[in-house]
């Protein structure tokens, strides 16, 4: 039996990779199965519920037309409980059955700066993992965990393995591989470094399916529809897409038979996804929160917010992704319209809280590249500048304690964020922040555009009925 070991048993993995593998198994191709667990002690209740159900759970999907479907997903055959020494994950990673180690640890879980270097100065958990790895111990970050797993695998002689990143990260395979190799180099384990370089591959992949955080009513609907009371039930949109570069060093499931697109280069797909979907999603979440909406579909149906999202994509993003020198193979206007339709599906009830999170990773990852490329082309950035201006306004509300939910941001240093908001000129302080902007930090063209956009954001908030109360 071939095993895919997945690190990060969050909602998305269970609505995406696990579903494609489930479909393959259902089609009669039973050569692969999943094992998985978390590298941190979170989601304890869900993990325990999954373990109690032998890894099975019910997925509810909802189409734009409102059609509900319920599927018992059974491709996860082993749920590995969290222990600080990661013993279960390491044992599975060192097994010759394991041919792929996949992971979803969020955009903020890679700790890379604008130059793709590990940002040790900012992230204490990365420094702690480095110390642990030097002492031969595993850690909780993806790098600390993979180093421990791959060290054990090298020793066990279990052979090559593919490292498959399933997070929304540009060049996700290449960049997480770069981070891992730097990490092992800093640990000073030359033998492991050489082994990983020769015995692993890291395909880039674009992943897509909106998967909200499961709420209690999902479990209730699943019970009503199937008769099964499933504490690990979850919900996602009916849309699903996965595009992967076909570079698997130790074999792979025949995923192409269940709709996965295996390609040479994922570049065009990931740029479209990150800029037209993820950045636009954040825009709608930040803007919606500012005027009192809780859900993504509410902001998507608000004409002013929809227009901001539409203009960002149309004016500033499509022109840098589809140029005469490098025509985009995808129909980007159509992609934009499909994305806005998906966001507008009221049955999904995806929260602004989930999508607004991690702005300090999403500005550099999803938004700054468009600003950089527009400026390099001598073009205006007024439409894209609305996104950082919305995030700054959002941050100012957070600073005053006015966000109606907990704002989660792994890459944010709260002291830095409060200082930006307290500055005499918050726009200048925000645009000078190097982790957000890299070499663009302090650029006068950025500051001017965000200042103009901030005035438009103020007018947008003021124009919304009831906004003054927030
Ligand atoms: N939910 C979606 O709609 C969706 C769609 C496409 C891609 N994704 C990708 O999947 C990621 C996870 O989304 P989710 O909905 O499963 O979230 P989730 O909160 O359900 O799960 C997050 C997972 O990441 C792990 N994790 C978080 N921070 C970590 C860190 N610093 N180091 C190690 N592990 C860490 C957690 O243990 C957990 O397993 C997203 O950030 C995104 O990159 C999500
Ligand atoms: O933009 C937020 C993401 O989690 C999004 O839901 C996902 O990337 C859709 O595939």
Q: Are 107 and 97 in contact (CB under 8 A)?
A: no
ipTM of this complex prediction, to 2 decimal places:
0.99
Give the pLDDT of residue 134.
97
Q: Which helix (H) or strand (E) holds 37?
A: strand 32-37
Q: Which residues of the chain have pLDDT under 50?
A: 468-470
CA quadruple 281, 285, 286, 291: dihedral, nearest 10 = 140
Q: Is 142 in the pocket of ligand 1 (CB under 6 A)?
A: yes
- 103 token code pair: 């992971």
Tell me the CA–centroid distance for residue 207 and ligand 1, in Å.
12
353: left (phi over 0), alpha (psi -120 to 50) or beta: alpha
User: Other CB atoms closer than 10 Å to residue 52's CB: what's the count?
Assistant: 12
Rounded CA separation 174/164 (Å): 10
Tell me the CA–centroid distance for residue 325 and ligand 1, in Å.
36
Q: What is the pTM of this model?
A: 0.96
Give the pLDDT of residue 59.
98
Give the pLDDT of residue 278.
98
Q: Is 10 in the pocket of ligand 1 (CB under 6 A)?
A: yes
To test the pocket of ligand 2, the residue of 20, 106, 211, 278 to mutate (highest count of ligand atoms within 8 Å of its CB) is 278
Residue identifier of the C-alpha nearest atom 3 of ligand 2: 278
Q: Are 233 and 194 in contact (CB under 8 A)?
A: no
pLDDT, tens only, 32-56: 999 999 999 999 999 999 999 999 9
End-to-end CA gap in the chain: 56
- How remote is the C-alpha of 123 from its chain's centroid? 18
Rounded CA separation 272/289 (Å): 25
Task: Name all domains of the chain by residue range, CATH numbers in brackets.
Answer: 2-263 (3.40.50.720), 268-462 (1.10.1040.10)
Q: Is 172 in the pocket of ligand 1 (CB under 6 A)?
A: no
């Amino acid at each position: 039996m071939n095993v895919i070991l997945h690190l990060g048993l969050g909602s998305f993995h269970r609505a995406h990779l696990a579903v494609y593998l489930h479909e393959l198994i259902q089609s009669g191709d039973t050569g692969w199965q999943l094992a998985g667990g978390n590298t941190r002690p979170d989601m304890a209740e869900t993990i325990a519920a999954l373990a109690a159900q032998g890894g099975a759970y019910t997925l509810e999907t909802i189409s734009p037309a409102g059609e509900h479907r319920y599927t018992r997903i059974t491709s996860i055959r082993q749920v590995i409980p969290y222990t600080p020494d990661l013993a279960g994950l390491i044992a599975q990673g060192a097994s010759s059955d394991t041919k792929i180690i996949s992971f979803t640890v969020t955009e903020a879980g890679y700790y890379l700066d604008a130059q793709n270097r590990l940002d040790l100065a900012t992230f204490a958990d990365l420094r702690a993992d480095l110390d642990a790895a030097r002492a031969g111990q595993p850690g909780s970050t993806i790098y600390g965990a993979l180093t421990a797993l791959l060290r054990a695998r090298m020793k066990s002689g279990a052979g090559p393995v593919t490292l498959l990143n399933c997070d929304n990260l540009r060049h996700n395979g290449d960049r997480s591989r770069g981070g891992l190799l730097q990490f092992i180099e800093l640990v000073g384990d030359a033998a492991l470094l050489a082994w990983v370089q020769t015995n692993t591959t890291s395909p880039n992949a674009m992943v897509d399916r909106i998967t909200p955080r499961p709420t209690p009513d999902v479990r209730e609907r699943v019970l009503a529809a199937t008769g099964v009371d499933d504490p690990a039930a979850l919900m996602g949109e009916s849309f699903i897409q996965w595009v992967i570069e076909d570079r698997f060093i130790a074999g792979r499931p025949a995923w192409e038979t269940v709709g996965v697109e295996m390609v040479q280069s994922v570049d065009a797909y990931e740029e479209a996804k990150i800029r037209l979907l993820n950045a636009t999603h954040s825009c709608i979440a930040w803007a919606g929160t500012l005027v009192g909406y809780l859900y993504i579909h509410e902001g998507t149906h608000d004409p002013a917010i929809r227009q901001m999202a539409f203009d960002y994509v149309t004016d500033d993003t499509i022109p840098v992704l589809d140029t005469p020198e490098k025509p985009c193979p995808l129909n980007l206007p159509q992609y934009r319209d499909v994305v806005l339709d998906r966001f507008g599906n009221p049955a999904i009830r995806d929260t602004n809280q989930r999508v607004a999170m991690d702005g300090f990773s999403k500005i550099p990852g999803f938004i700054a590249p468009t600003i950089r490329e527009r400026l390099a082309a001598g073009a205006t950035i007024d439409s894209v500048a609305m996104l950082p201006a919305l995030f700054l306004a959002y941050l100012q509300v957070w600073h005053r304690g006015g966000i109606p939910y907990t704002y989660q941001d792994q890459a944010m240093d709260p002291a830095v964020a409060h200082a930006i908001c307290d500055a005499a000129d918050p726009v200048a302080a925000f645009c000078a922040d190097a982790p957000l902007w890299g070499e663009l930090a302090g650029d006068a063209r950025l500051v001017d555009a965000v200042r103009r956009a901030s005035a438009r954001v103020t007018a947008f908030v003021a124009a919304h009925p009831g906004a003054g109360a927030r």
